[in-house]
Amino acid sequence: MERTLAIIKPDAVARGKIGEIIRRFEKAGLRISALKMVHLDKRQAEEFYHVHRARPFFDSLTTFMASGPVAVLVLEGETAISTLRAIMGATDPARASPGTIRRDLGTSIEQNTVHGSDSPESAAFEVPYFFQGPETFDYVRVDRHKGGDGPSS
């Protein structure tokens, strides 16, 4: 079982898209193991995105990520990391496939609505960055309800 970190970014929170995005996570069969809202300060955003510190967009990205609250989730599944990345789509919404979250909801390469861990190594840093052990939950997801949003419906 894999775990990955998802962030619903400030642009999506401000536009009332939290529910729409979480619906897509659940519809893809991902199990929500933890979720909360936080407002990062600039230093925390820099810490979280430290792998990008040499990039020209680092200052703008971290200013944007500290510009408003975000929703953060731990998602679980057999292939949670690649499943999440597939439904998010390419980093640049203009290049993302139709039907992906970024293509449907993103407005720019920076304001691209969602972040997801890109590897097991990233997830191992990113999940504990936001969540302590007792804040994550294990349970059996049951997809029995016909007509619901589960993968079996």
Binding region for ligand CMP (CB under 6 A): 52, 57, 61, 91, 109-110, 112, 115
Which residue, chain included where needed, has tokens 């419906």? 153
Query: From the CB of 27, what's the least distance to ligand CMP, in Å?
Result: 20
Answer for the pair 33, 74: CB distance below 8 angstroms, yes or no. yes
Answer for the pair 74, 127: CB distance below 8 angstroms, yes or no. yes
Residue with smaller CB distance to ligand CMP, 15 or 145: 15
Query: From the CB of 110, what's the least distance to ligand CMP, in Å?
Result: 4
Query: From the CB of 10, what's the least distance to ligand CMP, in Å?
Result: 11
Residue with smaller CB distance to ligand CMP, 121 or 143: 121
Residue with smaller CB distance to ligand CMP, 34 or 114: 114
Q: Which residues have C-beta within 8 Å of that of residue 21, sequence separation ≥ 6?
A: 8, 12, 101, 105, 113, 114
Cβ count near 54 (within 10 Å): 7
Query: From the CB of 67, what's the least distance to ligand CMP, in Å?
Result: 13
Q: Is 39 a catalytic residue?
A: no
Q: Is the dihedral of CA 15, 18, 21, 27 positive or negative?
A: negative
Which of 39, 50, 52, 115 is labelled catalytic? 115
Query: Identity (one letter) of the amino acid at 44?
Result: Q
Cα–Cα distance for residue pair 37/13, rounded to 1 Å: 10
Residue with smaller CB distance to ligand CMP, 55 or 141: 55
Which are the catalytic amino acids? 115
